[in-house]
Amino acid sequence: MATRWGICSAGKISHDFSVALRTLPHDDHQIVAVAARNLHHAQEFAKKHNIPRVYGSYEELAKDSEIDVVYVGTIHSHHLSTGKLFLTSHKNVLIEKPLAMNLREVLELTNTAKENDVFLMEAIWTRFFPVSVEVGRLLGQGEVGEVQMVRADLGAPLTHIPRLTHRELGGGALLDLGIYCLQFVFMVFNGERPESIQAMGYCIDTGVDGTVVLVLKFSGNRMAVCTCSITMMLTNDAVITGTKGTIKVPNHMWCPTSLEVNGEVTQYPLPEPSLPLNFIHSTGLRYEAEEVRQCLLKELKESSGMPWSHSHLLAEVMDEARRQVGVTYNQDSIQ
């Protein structure tokens, strides 16, 4: 039986997610409804993606009894309210990263999911790419020995995009890009909490972080360095250094299609999209969608590939990094 998806918001990432779903078997994944605050936008979206039901409010989507799971593609600052709307309506939910604006909000969402006995996952799509699965396998087999250092960089000049520069929209390098670097580190170190967190960076004139460098120290003198920026182009790769060699995820580390292990490169091509995409390699969103399906079939409430504990840790470390750099959101002052 197909997993029936509801799409919340008719923006760019929701478009790409819908295109990615079309690369999976129709008997497994079907989009049955879309909702947007603007009914016209929802209607246009539904026409483009051949979606049968259209709603001009998220509340209507929450009441649709024929939906198995909702994909939330709203802007960062709306993740808490929108996520809670669906969770309290006993809907399973996949929420775009970051799960919420800070640790307090993330805990509120996971607690709400627990109270309502429904599935919830932060949409860290990178975790489910074949490259990431292979990295996990290699580390488990000790391919590069004991890991000593992890480095991950992600940055591009993006200050022309209001969503990334406005405080009220949850802008800044950390929440949008740095989260990919951090999730990679926590994937490698199995969700271990760092012993120390040092963050340096600067804010742009809107008050959000333009560039941040994070240095994390883990037990056994293992280190990680993450750099993220919305003001400059970085190498956008990730490297794991072990006692017996290195694993490198080349450019596009957040949506990887190649892997270099001790100098040997393997390609992992993605399916071709049926419609033009807004973001590179977006058909790779199919992997997180299939993860959600498998979790629902097993009646799980969270994914072992992206568990709630990792979402908590990501938010906790980003909160501390923002504190050190001097970035605050209105949500931080709410008790």
- 280 — pLDDT class (breaks 50, 70, 90): very high
Could you tell me the pTM of the whole model?
0.97
pLDDT given for residue 31 in this prediction: 98
| Arithmetic mean of pLDDT over the chain | 98
The pLDDT tens digits of the residues spanning 84-104 come to 999 999 999 999 999 999 999
pLDDT given for residue 335 in this prediction: 61
Beta bridge partners of 215: 198, 225
Share of the chain above pLDDT 90, in %: 99
pLDDT of residue 209 exceeding 70: yes
Per the listing, tokens 């209507």 go with: 60
Say if residues 211 and 228 touch (Cβ distance below 8 Å).
yes
Calculate mean pLDDT across residues 22-44: 98
pLDDT of residue 334 exceeding 80: no
Residue 335's closest CA among 109, 113, 104? 104
Calculate mean pLDDT across residues 250-260: 97
pLDDT of residue 219 exceeding 80: yes
pLDDT given for residue 156 in this prediction: 98
pLDDT of residue 34 exceeding 80: yes
- H helices present in the chain, as ranges: 12-21, 39-49, 58-62, 79-88, 103-115, 130-140, 162-165, 173, 179-188, 286-297, 308-325
pLDDT of residue 55 exceeding 90: yes
Which are the contacts of 98, defined by CB distance < 8 A and separation ≥ 6?
76, 79, 106, 122, 170, 175, 176, 179, 314, 315, 318
Q: Using CA of residue 118, residue 123, residue 128, residue 132, what is the dihedral sign?
A: negative
